[in-house]
Structure 1
Amino acid sequence: MVRLAALAHAVAWLYPTATLAAGSLADVNHVVLFMQENRAFDHYFGTMAGVRGFSDPNVQVNPGSARSVFYQDVNATLSNATNYLLPWYLNYQGNWSDPIQCMVAGSNGWQANHGALNGDLNNKWAEDNTPYSWGYYKRADLPVHFGIAEGWTVADMYQQSVIASTTPNRVSWFSGSINCPGGPQTPDQGGMTIDNSETPGCELPNTNCYPLNWKTYAEYLQDAGITWQVYQDTDNFGDNPPAWFVPFQNAANTSELYQRGMTFVGLDKFYSDVKAGTLPQVSWIIGPAELSEHPPYQPKDGAWLQQQVVNAVTSGASYNDTVLMISYDETGGWGDHVTPYHSPQGTAGEWVQDPYDMFGDVYTGPGFRLPFYIISPWTRGGKVFTEHADHSSQLKFMEQWLAAKGNDVTTTQIPPWRREHMSDLVNAFDFSSPDYSIPIVPAADAPHTNAQGQWDGYAVCEATYPVTQPPVPYGQQTTSSSLLSEDGFKQVRGYMTEGRFLVFESGSTALTRGNNTVGAGVASANHDNKMQRFVVHQLPDMQSNTNTFAISSAVDGKFVAADMSLVSGQTNGATFTITDLGNGQGYILGVGGKNITSSNGKVVLGSDATAWSAYSVTYAN
């Protein structure tokens, strides 16, 4: 047994990798933020092992419905063959692998996505967006994305900041807010941003006004003497957030604001700075349109760009002290089965009367889940980060990092609820055990170029395949053929959230279901023993970040009671606390004022504490 006070010095046996001396968040010297376009988590990674994907044991079942939200409503205007649509593999017919690279699905706008959300029933993706919104890729279509995400740490509860399109989400990424009423900003600073508006003035009163005039995080960095740079080519897809804010628009060409935020230094400059070890402390990367992954721009072309950035960072002079975060701005009209984690109705700075008079009182965000992964020596090794996060989390991470280095660079622009409830991402890292090895990632093919050397892979795709949307498989689906998941596992980091089958281990011991109780068993190498598989059920509701859960067995759904016996019905089960120790140390499992402890191959309840490693597992059995 390990006393809590000693846990910080007794974790090397939990993670047997080659390491140097224990470190801290202050060891980071460079943060690189790279955002791509318009993809959803299920759409890219729903089949991935060990994440909250198509094997979600906590999938939402709406009141009065016998079906989960995997079953999207289908009306007669779409098909008479069925009344539902399950997630469907875009290449299910086997001969669409190339055209689906340049296919387009639905709308990424406010109206279509709030329509699909349908007041949190989350069941109108086919009817109110498009049936293509419910389509997904597999590893064969995204080998580089899977390789990068699984080589380091993937987050499966990272959400878009706004249930809307590109500009609002990139505004939040760069500043922490969209100026929703009741937040830190005032209406005369640009009004609420929920659309891609770049026309001077306002679309509606205090809505979609341009330009914006609240303080961006880059300005906080500038004021604090922290070096930073936006790296972009002239072909930036109009995606550079500084260009939408008054201070940058009014900055003199010779000023640091302009030189760092508005110039087109190019991605080659980023690659050379990484190689030379001359990166600023903070970098934002804005990719070219054709490599952005925004439909119809191809995922495989974006994969090549991602690999260039990752390879540059990992082979550069400063990989040992660099953090690279790869994110997407919004879902692009692709669907996700997880109803967004959000604030209670009426929360200031978060809820608004729909300015388009379609949905009544709605929350602006956080919205649906996006792909997100962190590349660094402290996130190596195929982990899954489970905390609720959004684009403001990247700013909060920088606040914590710079504070660890003795700099107060706290922004006052993030709305209070979001500051309190969105992760700062720090728990995704294990600073005690950096791993400097580099995983083997499949090599991306170089994007096609025309005679002028311009990227044109999507244009070649569209010219080759006049039809890029496969036929929707109405009436042809079964859960076994549609809800596909790879077998495997990922070790969990961050505070616990729902949506996974979990195995808890301490050394060679695993919590194991017995005849009518939970005790100890021998841990399996691949964490694939079903008797050791459990499901957590968040208490009391999704509106709070709480570490209290009911726990059930994956074998028969029985719940664990306070004496570790198994009982029928959640109300008869106990309330457990699952406390993340942070820094990769594992979790303390508590019940009834005692801790679940592993001692000599047995499980007992006591005052001592065992650090349990948690594994998110996905197996067909």
Structure 2
Amino acid sequence: MAALDEIRTIVFLMLENRSFDHMLGHLSLEHPEWDVDGLREPDANPRYANFFEQRFYRPFLIEDEASAIRDPPHSRHHVNMQLARSPSGKKFRMSGFVEAYVDYTQHRAEQPPPMGYFDSNGAWMTSFLARQYAVCDRWFCPLPSDTQPNRCMAFTGTTLIDDTGSRLIPHREHVFDWLNAHNVRWRVYTHGPPFFLLFGRFQELVGMKYRPFSQLEHDLQTEPADEAPQVIFIEPRYFDFFWSDAQPNCNHPLARVAQGERLLYDVYRTLTSNPEKWARTLFIHTYDEHGGFFDHVPPLPIENPVPTGARFTEGFKTTGPRVPGLLVSPWVQPGKAFHGNVDHTSWLQLLAEKFGTGPDGYSASVSHRRAQGIRSLSEALADAPAQRPVPQREPLAIPAGPPLPTKRQPRAPNERAFQEAALELLKHQGPIATGAKYPELVGAPLEPPNPVPPHP
């Protein structure tokens, strides 16, 4: 299509663990005339009620993030509880978010954290980009599970795991392998050790394809178009990388959304700093999964069978809940809500259209989802670029709040996975090469007090 022919640079940023209603449900409250499928009458709409222990809980506006945000459960078991399948088994009531939270934490609150949502002051940059560019209000995380399986879907098109474990992630062909096979130039700009560390691509991690985010603006200004990367991955500072004084900006609770919003601002400001290159850029932003936060839209009936060699035995019958999805580019209709059903494999379809043989040209597993109704992100692009000045806004200050625990011992499975992967990187590449790229890892007390069992 014309837009894909004209786009030279595709930029991908995936943050952590927030649902659509949690981050963007406010769009329909603040702009009722817009047809985006967000929250409407949250105090009265019966579709939003979570009934638990003889009382109803409804969505509430988060006014003090530090006191309102916890880390809700989002394992496969608890996501199934959150979806609340009807007795007939044919519908999902989306009413089990409070029940799952109490089951996991044994904590009861007048305003349970999973039911909170931000407005355009809290999610100020996400809201700005949604209103100025295109928001996908039917972007679902591919699987009703947690971080690692859904990131596998985004970066490999399938998954061999159904949970987040303390291990290197087993996987098949990575998107980097696909791009290499199709002679596509790609690069990763990081704020610290990237999530790709967990895929065990150790030699690659210390090479020239990985650069600090601070170098992106210089590269955009100076690199010739025929040498610049065609696909750029932006990696945040992860909350699950536990040994750092820097505040995480990945938005994984307890990381502050204010930090993630500033990251979005920095990415947008940097990408638009070169008007000539921005005119042919598509910036794709989404989240790996919903993180246990409420969303009112039921999952899609998309089957994901157990692949050969998988480390789980029960296939998936649906997607997970919705996550925020934004397409930021001159090549979208400003203020457009795209209602097509998409998930993390939709951007892989787009890559196959741009650099391969078509949307069915990425892999058999991606094509299987496409045959069930998962569409390519290319369908949300406009036929011609918007003729207008680049929208700008001033950043908001990050409000003061209690400091997050840094330089802590790892507790959660993904924290321990980062620990194991960091140890492997140091072992394979040595402290000099590793420290040149990721100085946080050199001298860090990475050895666990009790050894983590090796991944199977």
> Which of the residues 332, 350, 370 maps onto 2:323?
370
Q: Name the CA distance, whole Å, in 2 between partners of 1:399 and 1:287.
A: 25
Q: Name the CA distance, whole Å, in 2 between partners of 1:74 and 1:322.
A: 47
Paired amino acid for 1:440: Q
Residue 54 in structure 1 maps to residue 22 in structure 2: no
Q: Name the CA distance, whole Å, in 1 between partners of 2:78 and 2:358.
A: 42
Q: Is the 8 A contact 2:71 2:254 kept in 1?
A: no
> Which of the residues 30, 37, 61 maps onto 1:89?
61
Q: Name the CA distance, whole Å, in 2 between partners of 1:462 and 1:223.
A: 42
Counterpart mapping for 1:34-45 below 5 A: 34-45=13-24
Counterpart mapping for 1:273-292 below 5 A: 273-277=219-223, 279-289=228-238, 290-292=248-250
Paired amino acid for 1:197: G
Q: Is the 8 A contact 1:393 1:424 kept in 2?
A: yes
Q: Name the CA distance, whole Å, in 2 between partners of 1:339 and 1:354.
A: 27
Secondary structure of 1:220's aligned partner: helix
Q: Name the CA distance, whole Å, in 1 between partners of 2:401 and 2:317.
A: 32
Q: Is the 8 A contact 2:162 2:312 kept in 1?
A: no
Q: Is the 8 A contact 1:275 1:312 kept in 2?
A: no
Q: Name the CA distance, whole Å, in 2 between partners of 1:277 and 1:377.
A: 21
Partner of 2:347: 394
> Which of the residues 98, 121, 126 maps onto 2:93?
121
Q: Is the 8 A contact 1:161 1:390 kept in 2?
A: yes
Partner of 2:66: 99
Paired amino acid for 2:403: V
Residue 432 in structure 1 maps to residue 384 in structure 2: yes
Secondary structure of 1:106's aligned partner: coil
Residue 230 in structure 1 maps to residue 188 in structure 2: yes
> Which of the residues 101, 108, 123 maps onto 2:74?
108
Residue 336 in structure 1 maps to residue 295 in structure 2: yes
1:299, distance to aligned residue in structure 2 (A): 0.9
Q: Is the 8 A contact 2:161 2:312 kept in 1?
A: no
Distance 1:385 1:326, change over 3 A: same
Q: Is the 8 A contact 2:306 2:312 kept in 1?
A: no
Distance 1:258 1:410, change over 3 A: farther
Q: Is the 8 A contact 1:298 1:458 kept in 2?
A: no
Secondary structure of 2:233's aligned partner: strand
Unpaired runs of at least 5, structure 1: 1-21, 58-65, 77-82, 92-96, 179-191, 200-209, 449-456, 464-621
1:355, distance to aligned residue in structure 2 (A): 6.0
> Which of the residues 164, 167, 172 maps onto 1:196?
164
Secondary structure of 1:31's aligned partner: strand
Q: Is the 8 A contact 2:22 2:294 kept in 1?
A: yes
1:159, distance to aligned residue in structure 2 (A): 0.7
Q: Name the CA distance, whole Å, in 2 between partners of 1:266 and 1:132.
A: 34
> Which of the residues 29, 39, 49 maps onto 1:71?
49
Q: Name the CA distance, whole Å, in 1 between partners of 2:4 and 2:120.
A: 33
Deviations 1:289-344 (A, max 9, x none): 21111111111111111111011111224101111011111111111111111226
Partner of 2:214: 268
Partner of 1:259: 207
1:48, distance to aligned residue in structure 2 (A): 0.6
Distance 1:458 1:355, change over 3 A: farther
Unpaired runs of at least 5, structure 2: 29-33, 86-91, 103-111, 239-247, 407-456
Residue 460 in structure 1 maps to residue 403 in structure 2: yes
Q: Is the 8 A contact 2:187 2:233 kept in 1?
A: yes
Paired amino acid for 1:74: F
TM-score by length of 1: 0.54
Residue 319 in structure 1 maps to residue 278 in structure 2: yes
Q: Is the 8 A contact 2:185 2:229 kept in 1?
A: yes
Q: Name the CA distance, whole Å, in 1 between partners of 2:270 and 2:278.
A: 9
1:273, distance to aligned residue in structure 2 (A): 1.6
1:150, distance to aligned residue in structure 2 (A): 1.0
Q: Name the CA distance, whole Å, in 2 between partners of 1:299 and 1:136.
A: 11
Residue 215 in structure 1 maps to residue 161 in structure 2: no
Q: Is the 8 A contact 2:152 2:171 kept in 1?
A: no
Identity among equivalent positions (%) equals 21
1:23, distance to aligned residue in structure 2 (A): 4.6
Distance 1:126 1:257, change over 3 A: closer
1:439, distance to aligned residue in structure 2 (A): 1.5
Residue 168 in structure 1 maps to residue 141 in structure 2: no
Secondary structure of 2:26's aligned partner: coil
Counterpart mapping for 1:493-532 below 5 A: none
Secondary structure of 2:286's aligned partner: strand
| Aligned CA-pair RMSD | 3.2
1:271, distance to aligned residue in structure 2 (A): 2.5
> Which of the residues 362, 370, 387 maps onto 1:411?
362
1:211, distance to aligned residue in structure 2 (A): 4.2
Q: Name the CA distance, whole Å, in 1 between partners of 2:71 and 2:385.
A: 42
Q: Is the 8 A contact 1:326 1:373 kept in 2?
A: yes
Residue 382 in structure 1 maps to residue 382 in structure 2: no
Deviations 1:57-82 (A, max 9, x none): 9xxxxxxxx98431111115xxxxxx
Q: Is the 8 A contact 2:140 2:323 kept in 1?
A: yes
Secondary structure of 1:363's aligned partner: coil
Paired amino acid for 2:75: G
Q: Name the CA distance, whole Å, in 2 between partners of 1:164 and 1:260.
A: 34
1:105, distance to aligned residue in structure 2 (A): 4.2
Secondary structure of 1:396's aligned partner: helix
Q: Name the CA distance, whole Å, in 1 between partners of 2:215 and 2:301.
A: 39
Paired amino acid for 1:283: I
Paired amino acid for 1:280: P
Q: Name the CA distance, whole Å, in 1 between partners of 2:387 and 2:377.
A: 18
Q: Name the CA distance, whole Å, in 2 between partners of 1:151 and 1:67.
A: 28
1:427, distance to aligned residue in structure 2 (A): 1.9
Deviations 1:388-438 (A, max 9, x none): 0010011111111224xx899932253443122211111211132433521
1:444, distance to aligned residue in structure 2 (A): 3.1
Distance 1:98 1:215, change over 3 A: closer
Moved more, 265-274 or 144-153: 265-274
Distance 1:408 1:52, change over 3 A: closer
Secondary structure of 1:222's aligned partner: helix
Paired amino acid for 2:76: W
Q: Name the CA distance, whole Å, in 2 between partners of 1:171 and 1:152.
A: 27
Deviations 1:567-597 (A, max 9, x none): xxxxxxxxxxxxxxxxxxxxxxxxxxxxxxx
Partner of 2:114: 133
Q: Name the CA distance, whole Å, in 2 between partners of 1:369 and 1:72.
A: 17
Q: Name the CA distance, whole Å, in 2 between partners of 1:269 and 1:413.
A: 36
Q: Name the CA distance, whole Å, in 2 between partners of 1:397 and 1:217.
A: 12
Give the number of the structure with larger relative contact order, counting CA–CA contacts within 8 Å between residues 6 or more apart.
Answer: 2
Distance 1:385 1:56, change over 3 A: farther
> Which of the residues 17, 25, 36 maps onto 2:4?
25
Secondary structure of 1:373's aligned partner: strand
Q: Is the 8 A contact 1:173 1:395 kept in 2?
A: yes
Deviations 1:501-556 (A, max 9, x none): xxxxxxxxxxxxxxxxxxxxxxxxxxxxxxxxxxxxxxxxxxxxxxxxxxxxxxxx
TM-score by length of 2: 0.73
Partner of 2:410: none
